[in-house]
Amino acid sequence: MRDIETGGSATAERQLDRELVEVEAAIELVRSGLAPSVTIAGMRHGEAILEARHEAAARVGIAVDAVWGPADGDCDIVVRRIEARPEAGTDA
């Protein structure tokens, strides 16, 4: 399932695997229309998650973004549907 490496301990790898599962579940909730958005707080591997899931989610119309905390390195991951924007010169 994981297509990235932590370069760290087995504990860090297990934590990353759990966080990836949570983000994948959030992506599916939003993609299916069951939730307009999902925020997962306290993620320790935010950059790795964004790297691993951002492009694949965008291909199905879902944005995966990080909101970084003040100092500790943790972040919240926000999963939401990408809003369709009207083309220039058309009325929305």
**Structural domain includes residue 67:** yes
Q: Classify residue 43: in a domain, yes or no.
A: yes
Q: For 62, how many CA atoms within 13 A lie in the half-sphere containing its CB? A: 26
> Does 58 map to a domain?
yes
- Indicate the number of domains in the chain: 1
pLDDT score recorded for residue 84? 62
Residue 5 within a domain: no
In-domain check, residue 75: yes
Q: The domain containing residue 43 runs over which residues?
A: 10-81
Q: Is residue 86 part of a domain?
A: no
In a domain, residue 37? The reply is: yes
At residue 14, does pLDDT exceed 70?
yes
Q: Is the pLDDT of residue 57 over 50?
A: yes
> Is 62 or 4 the better-scoring residue by pLDDT?
62
Residue 15 lies in a domain: yes
Check residue 76 and give its pLDDT. 95
The string of DSSP letters for 23-79 reads HHHHHHHHHHTS-SEEEEEEES-HHHHHHHHHHHHHHTTEEEEEEE-SSSS-EEEEE
Length of the chain: 92
Paired residues of 11 in beta bridges? none
- State pLDDT tens for residues 23-43: 999 999 999 999 999 999 999
Judged against a pLDDT cut of 50, whether residue 2 lies above it is answered with no
